[in-house]
Amino acid sequence: MPDQPGSLSLSDVAREAGVSLTTASRALNDSYGVSAATREKVLAIARRLDYVVSPDAVRLAGGRTRRVALVVPHIERWFFGEMVNGIETVLASANFDLLLYQVGGPEDRQDFFTRLPARRKVDAVVVVAFPVDQRERERLALMGVGIVAAGGQSADYPYVCIDDYHAGRLAVDHLLESGHRRIAMIAAHDPDQPGWPARSGRSEAYVDALTAAGIAVDHCLVRDVDWGGLNAAEAMADILDATPESAPTAVFAHSDELALGAIRTLRRRGLRIPEDVSVVGIDDHPLAALTDLTTVHQSVREQGEIAARLVLDALAPIPDGDAPTAVTAPTTLVVRGSTGPAPDHARSLAASSDDPHPELAGSRPAVPAHPQER
């Protein structure tokens, strides 16, 4: 069976150009050992005939595949999509193809690492935001290709990620500086991703920041939920229920999506944001801007681009010794309308133990805090 209907081969081009297969090949690649004249002739013919090499043949004959595998948990989630976006952009412009492997649930995962479907198919693999354990690392090694981690730290591979601790501090310190003392935290772990370390960096930041401010962490204010806004909403309700007399005046969510969930619950309880409680997330999800959410910005797309460059470096014929092997992307606090100063009475609370927000039920709506709105 021919390579593909309608495709012609290099030998066709060679014949047409009146040169040998060898020369044609060289004209198309090497460009050494071929005179400029013949090279031009071959190229012209190739173009005229609309010739396209067969990547499989190239590969078989000893070349690289020019393919890289992308292993990503949930392509439909903004974070991963954005990451893939960045990776695709630079890899595509370097003429690499992307093989997408979605490895979500535990079965997927099991299957992926045992079958190793990308084996013999790619020059490198980038693992997006997801921790690989020892056993999985060994399987991956079997592929015999370079590996880079994007969106997560890794001791074993070159990686790009943010400093989760720093991001957490930015968020929590912002709350602290606004006078908040009772700060809740909603952390999340992906149920499919046991032991994702990123979260713990953010949690650590929370603990440290409070401690540094002389505040004891109250475990009634902390929840760790499965990923998802709805779960965060529940967690928020939980926290509120657990602290009827000492509700938090602020909440630090590990991600914007969680923050949005928390906000829903707060609103439904008649609490105003930010007058009654401030909320801060992490990510700067596009919807954060839309919902006026204060957050910690990270450029996921750029991280993707960097990851791709890490791949390219690793694949370079003469590995660049100076090429970075680990880069941490910057994060910055973006203050929007969901955070504000702590309610006055909350500062001098601790004595009165009745409903801290007796006036809320009938309170007036938030004054539009955005005079700049067009």
Partner DNA sequence: TCACAATTCGGAAGCGCTTCCGAAGCGTAT
Partner DNA sequence: ATACGCTTCGGAAGCGCTTCCGAATTGTGA
Residue among 357, 194, 184, 208 nearest 279 (CA): 184
Least distance from C-beta 283 to a copy of itself, angstroms? 12
> What is the distance of C-alpha 176 from the center of its chain?
27
Which of the listed partners (DNA, a copy of itself, none) does 301 bind, with a CB threshold of 5 to 8 Å by partner kind?
a copy of itself
Which of the listed partners (DNA, a copy of itself, none) does 50 bind, with a CB threshold of 5 to 8 Å by partner kind?
a copy of itself
Provide the residue count of the chain: 374
Which of the listed partners (DNA, a copy of itself, none) does 25 bind, with a CB threshold of 5 to 8 Å by partner kind?
DNA
Least distance from C-beta 2 to DNA, angstroms? 4
Which of the listed partners (a copy of itself, DNA, none) does 234 bind, with a CB threshold of 5 to 8 Å by partner kind?
a copy of itself
Distances (CA, A) of 272 to 183, 202, 252, 254, 269: 16, 26, 16, 21, 9
Nearer to DNA, 21 or 141 (CB): 21
Residue numbers of the site for DNA (CB under 7 A)? Answer: 1-3, 7, 9-11, 18-23, 25-26, 28-30, 33-35, 37-39, 53-54, 57-58, 60-63
Which of the listed partners (a copy of itself, DNA, none) does 23 bind, with a CB threshold of 5 to 8 Å by partner kind?
DNA
Nearer to a copy of itself, 80 or 165 (CB): 80
Least distance from C-beta 175 to DNA, angstroms? 59
Cα(249)–Cα(246) distance, integer angstroms: 9
Least distance from C-beta 31 to DNA, angstroms? 10
Nearer to a copy of itself, 107 or 177 (CB): 107
Query: Taking a C-beta distance cutoff of 8 angstroms, is the pair 359, 193 a contact?
Result: no
Nearer to a copy of itself, 85 or 352 (CB): 85
Tokens 């039920």 belong to which residue? 361
DSSP 365: P
Peptide bond into 274 cis (omega under 30): yes
Which of the listed partners (a copy of itself, DNA, none) does 352 bind, with a CB threshold of 5 to 8 Å by partner kind?
none
In the chain, the amino acid numbered 318 is I
Least distance from C-beta 210 to a copy of itself, angstroms? 27
Least distance from C-beta 332 to a copy of itself, angstroms? 19
Least distance from C-beta 50 to DNA, angstroms? 12
List b or e across 223-259, with b for residues whose CB sees 16 or more CB atoms inside 10 angstroms.
bebebbbebbbbbbbbbbeebeebbbbbbbbbbbbbb
Q: In what order do the strands lie in the sheet with 294-298?
A: 222-226, 183-189, 250-253, 278-283, 294-298, 331-334
Nearer to DNA, 317 or 321 (CB): 317
Nearer to a copy of itself, 121 or 166 (CB): 121
Angle (CA) 255 179 266, round 5°:
45
Nearer to a copy of itself, 119 or 166 (CB): 119
